[in-house]
Structure 1
């Protein structure tokens, strides 16, 4: 296929990685990880995120307030904060690492060794970034489900449910993992292209040429 080239594979991987990184960044800061609507007061909707708690009313609109104490937060939110910070940092580092090694960029032109190492390192960082995005979203989803079906709570007590950020977090994490995988595929394609472009059986050809030359002299 004409379009299935190393250059196009690298660009696709970079595009998918940047999309996953932006999605993870948005997921980390929007207060839509969990939602709650009380049956006793249907005009109020509550939203919870990693950094803020918001309430929506028809009269006032949306009002958000940051959590007063980090140590008072549940363990899943504290772990989610740390993991999302690691995800954003490693994702940004992956983009900065692979960009100089892209086909068409003059930084590593004619240096296949450093280019290959940068692409592999960027792919590994993409995987780390994707997994550290999927982990906190899955942890919060698990605790939400456990609390929702907790029989020790009375039925009149409102329960938290999944917010939109949960689904965007899963999408961003999978996109980062896919981007890292595509970088690995691009490295394999580049290795195959270099082997195909080189002379076949170079050492054997050299030895045969020396043997023929010696025979002709004799």
Structure 2
């Protein structure tokens, strides 16, 4: 397609990656990873995140409280915090590195290999960011499903279910993976365009030899 240029693919991939990074950052601090509603009191909803535990009632509204001790947290919450920290750090670094590798950015202008290396490095970092976003969300989702269907827990005990932050986390991870993948596509497109330009330049500069035969189509 004429409009699908390397420059356009680079900018779309960076835009998608940045959107995934922002969504991942918001998901990290949302107290809506899991939700619980008791049949005994339908007007009361509980929410749990990586940093806060919240309760919502129609009379008092939403009240949140941070976890008192980090050491008292479960292993899955500690692992999820660590992975989300890695996700945000690698995602931010990847977006910055990829930005300087874009066509039109003055940094590294005229050095195609440097630009190519920056795009590849940015794509790898963004890929890592996407995977480390999907991992904690999927881990919490798995544990929630296991606890929900645990037959050892009496039926009268309320069960935790998926919160809105779980779905935003999955979307963030997919956006980061797609954004990183498109950076690799942009690199391949750039290599192809450079190869085509070199072949065209070579064909123009190469003189005809004495063995060149002119043919005519009758």
- TM-score, normalization by structure 2: 0.92
Bigger mean CA offset, 193-202 vs 56-65:
193-202
CA drift at 1:202: 4.8
Structure in which a larger fraction of residues adopt helix: 1
1:145 lines up with 2:149 in the alignment: no
1:167 lines up with 2:167 in the alignment: yes
CA drift at 1:199: 3.6
Report the secondary structure of 1:119's partner residue.
Answer: helix
Q: Runs (4+) of structure 1 moved beyond 2 Å?
A: 199-203
CA drift at 1:69: 1.1
Query: In structure 1, what is the Cα distance between the partners aligned to 2:130 and 2:58?
Result: 37
Count of residue correspondences: 209
Query: What RMSD, in angstroms, separates the aligned Cα atoms of the two structures?
Result: 1.7
CA drift at 1:183: 0.2
For residues 167-213 of structure 1, what are the alpha-carbon distances to aligned partners after superposition, in whole Å with 9 as ceiling and x for unaligned? Answer: 0000000100000000000000001111111145959x87x88x97x
Query: In structure 2, what is the Cα distance between the partners aligned to 1:3 and 1:66?
Result: 50
CA drift at 1:42: 1.2
Equivalences for residues 118-157 of structure 1 within 5 A: 118-157=118-157
Report the secondary structure of 1:47's partner residue.
Answer: strand
Structure 2 runs not aligned, ≥5 long: 211-218
Report the secondary structure of 2:179's partner residue.
Answer: helix
Equivalences for residues 1-218 of structure 1 within 5 A: 1-199=1-199, 202=202
For residues 5-25 of structure 1, what are the alpha-carbon distances to aligned partners after superposition, in whole Å with 9 as ceiling and x for unaligned? Answer: 000000000010001001100
